[in-house]
Structures are given as structure tokens and as C-alpha cells.
Structure 1
Amino acid sequence: MAGVTVRLDEERWQAHLATVLGDTPAVVPVVKGHGYGFGLVRLAAECRRLGVGTIAVGLPSEVGVVHGTFEGDVVILQPYDPADGLARTLTAAPHVLTTVSRLDDLRGLAAGDGRPRVLVEVQTSMRRHGLRPDELAQAAPLLDDVVFEGWSIHLPMREEGRREEAERLARTAVQARLGPLWLSHLPAAQVRALGEELGVDVRARVGTRLWLGDAKGRTVTATVLDVHPVRRGERAGYRGRVVPGAGWVVVVAGGTSHGVGLEAPTSATTWRQRATALATGSLGAAGRALSPFTLDGRKRWFLEPPHMQSSQVFLPAGATPPAVGDEVPVELRLTIATLDAVIMGSSKN
């Protein structure tokens, strides 16, 4: 099938998953969004095979997607919104844990008829969701009227000061009410040490490191759809751009709908990284952008911005053009990529 395909060494991938689970205390796999490129149902099936008891999804709507495959407990990471009818309904589901990040919402759940299973999120320096540390004492009495499952602490990925922040927030939380700690973005050894230090159970939520941590065990390719010879001065593409020289316009499967040409804002923190981002942005402003497709051993320039489901890439004279139907390597971030096919195989084949 023509398209963008990931080929995964299934044995190697599953060995990597087992290693992460073995090294990390009480892993809660994160299964959300588009399933890290593999799909929610596939990841839910892996969690069932691995024998984990709890997974975390992003949205209330994702609970139903995984429920037919995974029958254990499901944490909803998005904070509870009382205006969301599905979120309200799921508070009564015995296998669902609802994350609460505002005092008023916790009060509402505590005053309700049922006893929902609740995780209370503590605000970290991310400033995304959660009760402020000075609000935790007010939350403590409300926990008598829900099934309190613990404190959720979603830490920033920045390593500097992260361990100290985790300890400070965790200590404040368990002083308000003793309960398990559910932690994100903290190394396994630090998760384990924090639990031992405070005398509470700990759970480690893991997503990218679990599903995408072994990059060498997979390849992503795109199908060549067409190859057209061009001469210097000729035009091609939607915008009729002048080709930069003699060579070929190679039409490759993979466009914006697959995540080609899309990227998150730069996370550059050093001057070198910022300079690289500035140089890349300057090339883009000048109408030049390096594509993620490798043709004849090198990444090649886009002829123009990628289309919805395909891209036009310029291959200069002197290179060896691919044939229609060939598969060429493409570098994509699977956290934002949408694939046409996932093929499971073995390195022994």
C-alpha cells in the first residue's frame, strides 16, 4: 500500500517494553491521543499482554476506545470538567479514576451522590493544572467523601531542580493527606527513593520513553508516487516555483496530514540551539526547507511546502533517482505523526 509506513521489530519492541516495566516502579503506561503513532487499541492490547493493572488516557472520550481491549483501571489525565457530560458519567464507572485540579470541582464531586475514584493534581512549576500547594489543606477534608486514589504530580522535563520540586510538593501533599504519589517525568530511581523516603506507594506514569524509547527498533518509510525529470528554469508545484537546477521532482507519499512539515515550537535552551533554530527559520522565510525524506543517501530540499498527503522534493542531477513504488526513509516525530500502516515484524526474518 502506498503511503507512510512504520515497520517495527516486534520482538525488540516488546523486549524494550519489558525492560522499562522491570526498571520502573508500578508503571502506569500512558495511552493517549493517536497512540504515539501506533494507535490506542494497539497500545491497549500491549498493556493487556504485559499484565499492567492501570493505564492512563488523555481524554474522557478515549476511555471507550481502550475499554474493549483493556479491562483494568483507566486514569483520565485531563482534569475533570463538570460541564463535560461524558466526564460526569465516567465518575460513576468503577474502573475509571478521575483527575481533579480545582477545589470547586472537588467540592462538587464530594457533595454528589456517588463516591468517584479521584486523583488530586498538585500544581507544579509547569503551571498547567493542579491545586496550589497552599490549597492542599483545604482539599483534605473533602477527600472523605470520594475514593481518594492519591496525588498526581506532573513535573516539567527540565532536570535542574526537578528532584527538589518533586520532594517538596510530595511532602506537602502527604502531610495534607497520606496517599499514593502518581508521578510523571521523574527518573525511576528517584520515584522509588521518594516513595521510600515518605513511606507511601508510588506510581510512575510513562509514555514516550515506554513506547518510543528504542528508536533503532523501527523504521519509517514513504512510498515514491512519481518521478519527473526537470531542467533548469522550468517551473513545478502548486505555486509554479522555478526549480533550482536540472534534476528530478520526486513526489513522495506523506504530507501535512501525516505530520510532515509540522513541528512543535523550538525548545532550544542553549545559544547553539537558538542559533540553529534561527538559521532554520531564516531558510524557511526564504522559501527553502529541508525535507525529512532521504533520497540517494541524503535528506533533500522541499520544492515547496508539503501538500496534504504528499510532498514534492527536488533531487539534483548527479544523484540516482528512485523508481515509482520505492520506499524511501522519512524522519518523523511519532508523537505528532499519523501513519498509513504499522507493520510488525522480526529482525530474525
Structure 2
Amino acid sequence: MSLILTIDRARWAAHQRALLAEVPGLVPVAKGNGYGFGLETLAAQASELGVEVIAVGIAQEVAAVRAGGFEGDVVVLNPWRPFDAVATALLDDPRVITTVSRAEDVRALAASHPGARVIVEIITSMRRHGLSPASLTPGDLDGLTLEGWAVHLPASGSLEEARRLTREGLAVAKAPVWVSHLSVADYRTLAGKLDVAAHMRVGTRLWLGAKDAYRTTATVLDVHPVGKGTRLGYHQVAAPRAGFIVIVSGGTAHGVAMAAPVHQRTLKQRLVTISTGVLDAMERTLSPFTIGGRKRDFAEPPHMHSSMIFVPGDASPVQVGDEVPVTTRMTTVTCDELRWI
């Protein structure tokens, strides 16, 4: 009765090893839901790949990657704040590297935790976290172990911006450079011009780049024939015509069919959004579940651990116990079972 993530271990690992060979200094990122695989799974895989450093999103995720068996250095990407007790406790861990993004925090840590290993994040056009290197003096960093400067670029990362900000940081103190969201070619160009070590933090491309190496399936839990107009579900909606209600594993608790806002950059994207809204208003919402070779409509909004799918026709294409494909957003899904092949 599970939502299952099946992973082809050989294909998955082959993609990762190829990317590691192509990107010297690559640092795997394991954060959030572990890109659908789970943090402990990614930590174990990082150990298998032989990398010495891994990055997590927040301080609270360090314990999960340690539980997965990773024993190397762990970079916490979310910048330290004085009210984060977990992050503060990790300042005394010699295998944890803390990100700092405000000049006042650099100075505070130098005074309260001398020798702490830190990466200083430079403000980029993302405008999320970071400081201007000009706000620091070399003396501000003397009390800390400076592990590098972080440059977290927008998704369409600019080599020109990375170069400019890197120069600003290195003018204050010589230290390794850690970047995100550059193409492989641009990263290699940047790294080749530096006289310090370079690292590129990679999550999505590393874990999700080999799309043929994993798939998500749902289990058919029940199949009920219904006539046109039959009332069903929590909300007692009427079946639009004769067919079957197929109950499948996977619901809101798994992150199935959960959507995040997206930018409407093109006319096509706007038209898709409009058409989706019209179908929702008509109570015809396409589900991510494929049954009988095509995606089917939800009979009603998904439940916590299962979903009700409407399949029209005279004969059900599935039986209880069958597994059906489900399209998931890997950065939000939580599967019940990982199956290795």
C-alpha cells in the first residue's frame, strides 16, 4: 500500500560519477526532502562516491546526513543567525562549516567562537542572503578559519557576475571560492583563472540528472464501478459518466499533486494556467497518475495518503495490487518505500 520510488542503482551512480569527473571540486547538496530520495540515502551515496564534503540546507539536517553514514565535512548553506541554537552548537563541531552572511555576524562569531570554520556569503543579484566584501576588513576575519567565499547565483547564473564578485572577495582575503548555478563550462572557466581552490555546489543536476534511473509508482488499493451521477468521496461529487473509481496510494502527505507558484514568462504558459483554471472550475482536475496508458482526472481532491481517480469506460484497466506510474515533483515528494534494482 505504498508510494514507491524505484532506483536503478547502476544508472544513477554512473551519472553521478560522470558529473564528478566533469566538475572538479563538485560538492553534493543534500537538503530538504533529499530530492525525493531522502537525506540519509544521499548521505550514504555521497560516501559511496568518495566525496569529502557535502552541503546541507539548514543546521538541523546535519544529524540526518551523519545518520546516513557520511563522516566528512558538512557545509550548512543557510546562514548563521544568533537565535539558531542548533547552528550555534555546531560551531564547535570541527567537521561542520558554517555560512555567514552579515558583517555583524562575522565579527560576533570571531569574538564568541574563535577558530570556527566559516564560509562568507557574498550578496548576488539573487538578493537573498549575503554581504558586500567591502563591508569587511581582513582583521574581521582573523579570529575565524575562513574556508571560502560563497557566490550563490540565480538559476541562470552569469559567469561575469561570478568573476566580479569573486574578485571582490579575494581582494579582502585569499580563500577558496564556492559557487552555485553556473554551467559546467562557465565553472571550469572560472576555476581555471583562480589561484585558489574552487568548488561548485550541485544538487538537482547530480541527483536528478539521470531521469531514466528512477521512477515513482503508486499502488492500486481499490477499484469501484460507478454509474453516471453516482455520488462519491468526502464531498459527494457526482460521477460525470459511467466508469470506475480507482483508489491509489499517494496523497497530500506524500506531496503528490502539490504545486508551487511559477512565473508566467510566455503566452503559452499563461494559456496553460488559464485552461487549467477553467478545468478546475468544472471539477475536472488532471491527476499525475497514469492509468490505462494516460493520465486521469481526480474524482475529488487528493486525500492525505491516497487519491481517488476517475476512469471512464466499461472495463477497468487496473486491478487491486497493480502499480501505476505517477508523475512527482522530486523536490517535494516523500515516498513510503525505496526500491533498488
TM-score (norm: length of structure 2): 0.96
3-state SS, counterpart of residue 156 of structure 1: coil
What is the RMSD computed on CA atoms of the aligned residues? 1.4
In structure 2, the partner of 1:147 is 145
In structure 1, the partner of 2:224 is 228
In structure 2, the partner of 1:164 is 160
Moved more, 64-73 or 313-322: 313-322
Alignment equivalent of 2:280, drawn from 260, 265, 284: 284
In structure 2, the partner of 1:262 is 258
In structure 1, the partner of 2:117 is 117
Distance 2:278 2:76 in 1: 41
Displacement over 6 Å in runs of 4+? none
Q: Confirm or deny that 1:33 pairs with 2:32.
A: yes
CA contact (8 A) 2:103 2:135 kept: no
3-state SS, counterpart of residue 145 of structure 1: coil
3-state SS, counterpart of residue 335 of structure 1: coil
Distance 1:158 1:114 in 2: 37
Offset of 1:285 from its aligned partner?
A: 3.5
Distance change in 2, residues 1:158/1:282 (3 Å)? farther
3-state SS, counterpart of residue 238 of structure 1: coil
Distance change in 2, residues 1:89/1:275 (3 Å)? same
3-state SS, counterpart of residue 5 of structure 2: strand
Deviations 1:152-209 (CA, angstroms, capped at 9, x unpaired): 11111125xx222212211222122222110111112211211222322110101011
Distance 1:286 1:163 in 2: 47
Q: Confirm or deny that 1:323 pairs with 2:322.
A: no
Deviations 1:316-347 (CA, angstroms, capped at 9, x unpaired): 015643101100010001110000101011xx
In structure 2, the partner of 1:12 is 11
Distance 1:101 1:113 in 2: 16
Distance 1:106 1:340 in 2: 42
In structure 2, the partner of 1:48 is 47
Distance 1:64 1:278 in 2: 44
3-state SS, counterpart of residue 88 of structure 1: helix
Distance 1:153 1:115 in 2: 22
Q: Confirm or deny that 1:101 pairs with 2:101.
A: yes
Alignment length, in residue pairs?
340
Offset of 1:139 from its aligned partner?
A: 4.8
Deviations 1:238-274 (CA, angstroms, capped at 9, x unpaired): 1000111000011111000111120121233222122
In structure 2, the partner of 1:273 is 269
Deviations 1:76-123 (CA, angstroms, capped at 9, x unpaired): 011101111221111111100000011111110011243100000111
Distance 1:125 1:318 in 2: 57
In structure 1, the partner of 2:83 is 83
Moved more, 209-218 or 282-291: 282-291
3-state SS, counterpart of residue 36 of structure 2: coil
In structure 2, the partner of 1:74 is 74
Distance 1:6 1:139 in 2: 50
Offset of 1:141 from its aligned partner?
A: 2.6
Distance change in 2, residues 1:305/1:139 (3 Å)? farther
Identity of aligned residues (%): 49
In structure 2, the partner of 1:184 is 180
CA contact (8 A) 1:192 1:202 kept: no
Distance change in 2, residues 1:49/1:83 (3 Å)? same
Deviations 1:45-64 (CA, angstroms, capped at 9, x unpaired): 11111110100011111112
Distance 2:40 2:84 in 1: 24
CA contact (8 A) 2:151 2:179 kept: yes
CA contact (8 A) 2:227 2:241 kept: yes
Offset of 1:286 from its aligned partner?
A: 3.5
Aligned residue identity for 1:155? L
3-state SS, counterpart of residue 339 of structure 2: strand
Offset of 1:289 from its aligned partner?
A: 1.1
3-state SS, counterpart of residue 83 of structure 1: coil
3-state SS, counterpart of residue 136 of structure 2: helix
Distance change in 2, residues 1:250/1:88 (3 Å)? same
CA contact (8 A) 2:91 2:113 kept: no
CA contact (8 A) 1:92 1:115 kept: no
Distance 2:291 2:43 in 1: 35
Aligned residue identity for 1:126? M
Moved more, 194-203 or 180-189: 194-203
Distance 2:232 2:99 in 1: 52
Aligned residue identity for 2:23? T
Moved more, 276-285 or 170-179: 276-285
Offset of 1:31 from its aligned partner?
A: 1.1
